[in-house]
Structures are given as structure tokens and as C-alpha cells.
């Protein structure tokens, strides 16, 4: 077989080899594309799972005790702020004025925080009339609030101190219930702060009352 004949026999083999290389390349590309799609699908699934888990976690980070704590503490704080604001122009004792300003400064932001919690939880920010929240929780009656508004000087100081002691003790009791039965980390932390802070203020108010 001459050189020309041998060349003729080799060309088809080369063409077959070339076709084989192209086909193999196509298979590799196809496999990569398939794997890429698969990975993409896995990523999407993972993202959806993470989102679902996040929603589930958010929905599960509070319980009924947390809701009750926030719903009942909001009006409780609102009344404490109202009482504290009455000290301006009525109180004569400097310590009463100072503690009233401290109460307003501490509790006003907490009202907003608890309102935000309830809104994020999809719960009402009020509990209606809340018949259980009367004197037993330290809430002042309308009559008591009117009497406090009518007081001036030392009479105001004495009545304010006694009313706020009762009011704080009610809040402390509600906060202890949250400590025991609540689930939400932020709500329980606020309850801890209320128990600690208002217990100290009760002692201070009692010392004021004792010397007036």
C-alpha cells in the first residue's frame, strides 16, 4: 500500500476521533449544565426552607403569656406616665419630682416597644376594658386620679408616693408572671428590668413617704 492509499485510510479514523472528542465534550457540557441546574434548584430550595424556618421561628418566639404581659402593661405604664406628669406644678418635694421624671423617662419608651411587639406578633395592642386590671394590679381608679390632680404641695407628694407604690407593686406582680410563664426573650428581659427597677423605686418612695 502506497503513501497515498495509507493517507486515505487514516483520514476517516481522524474524522471519527474528532467526532468522538466533540461528542465527549458535549456530554461534559451537558452534564455540567445539568449539575448546575440541580445545584441551583438545591439553592432555591434551601433559601425557601430558610425563609420558612425564619417565619416559623418568629411565630414561635412568643406565647400567650407574652401577649397578655404586653397588652396589660401598656395601659399600666400609660397611667404611671400620666401620674408622673402630674408632678409638674404640683409636687413640692425635690425627690418626688426626680422620681416622677425618672418614671416618665423609663416607661414612655417601653410603651412604644411593647406596642411594636404586639404589632409584629399580629396581636391587638389592647385587651378591651380588661376588667381584671383594677386596684388588684395597682391601677388607680378614676376617682383616685381626680383626687391626685386636685392635690398640691406636700399633700400631693404624700398621695403620689402612696399611689405609685401601689401602682409599682401591681406592675411587679405582672412582671413576675411574665418571668415565670413568658417565652419571648425581649419580653422576659423587660420583665426582669421592671422587677428590679420598680422594686428599687418602691423602696425609695416608701422612704419619701416615711419622712413626709
Residue-range definition of the domain harbouring residue 206 = 64-211
Helices then strands, each counted (H, E), the chain: 6, 0
Lowest mean pLDDT among 11-15, 93-97, 98-102, 140-144: 11-15
Domain boundary among 59, 91, 107: 59
Lowest mean pLDDT among 3-12, 79-88, 124-133, 184-193: 3-12
17 & 69 share domain = no
Averaged pLDDT for residues 165-193? 97
Averaged pLDDT for residues 178-190? 97
Q: What is the percentage of the chain residues whose pLDDT exceeds 70? A: 67
103 & 204 share domain = yes
1 & 104 share domain = no
Distances (CA, A) of 180 to 78, 82, 111, 148: 24, 29, 21, 34
Question: For the chain, how many structural domains are there in total?
Answer: 2
121 & 202 share domain = yes
Q: What is the percentage of the chain residues whose pLDDT exceeds 90? A: 65
Q: Which tens digits make up the pLDDT trace of 28-38?
A: 334 444 444 44
Lowest mean pLDDT among 21-25, 127-131, 199-203: 21-25
95 & 143 share domain = yes
74 & 176 share domain = yes
87 & 164 share domain = yes
**Does residue 206 carry a pLDDT above 70?**
yes
73 & 134 share domain = yes
105 & 204 share domain = yes
The answer to whether 191 touches 175, Cβ cutoff 8 Å, is yes
The answer to whether 141 touches 83, Cβ cutoff 8 Å, is no
12 & 95 share domain = no
**Does residue 205 carry a pLDDT above 70?**
yes
Amino acid at each position: 500500500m502506497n503513501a497515498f492509499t495509507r493517507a486515505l485510510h487514516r483520514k476517516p479514523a481522524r474524522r471519527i476521533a474528532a467526532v468522538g472528542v466533540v461528542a465527549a465534550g458535549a456530554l461534559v457540557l451537558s452534564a455540567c449544565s445539568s449539575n448546575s441546574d440541580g445545584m441551583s434548584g438545591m439553592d432555591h430550595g434551601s433559601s425557601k426552607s430558610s425563609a420558612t424556618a425564619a417565619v416559623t421561628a418568629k411565630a414561635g418566639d412568643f406565647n400567650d403569656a407574652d401577649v397578655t404581659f404586653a397588652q396589660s402593661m401598656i395601659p399600666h405604664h400609660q397611667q404611671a406616665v400620666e401620674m408622673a406628669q402630674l408632678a409638674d406644678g404640683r409636687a413640692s418635694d425635690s425627690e418626688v419630682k426626680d422620681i416622677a421624671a425618672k418614671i416618665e423617662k423609663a416607661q414612655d419608651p417601653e410603651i412604644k416597644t411593647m406596642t411594636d411587639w404586639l404589632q409584629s406578633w399580629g396581636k391587638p395592642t389592647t385587651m378591651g376594658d380588661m376588667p381584671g386590671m383594677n386596684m388588684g394590679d395597682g391601677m388607680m381608679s378614676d376617682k383616685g386620679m381626680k383626687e391626685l390632680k386636685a392635690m398640691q404641695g406636700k399633700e400631693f407628694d404624700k398621695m403620689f408616693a402612696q399611689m405609685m407604690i401601689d401602682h409599682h407593686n401591681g406592675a411587679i406582680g405582672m412582671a413576675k408572671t411574665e418571668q415565670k410563664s413568658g417565652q419571648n426573650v425581649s419580653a422576659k428581659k423587660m420583665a426582669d428590668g421592671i422587677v428590679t427597677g420598680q422594686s428599687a423605686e418602691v423602696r425609695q418612695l416608701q422612704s419619701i413617704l416615711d419622712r413626709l
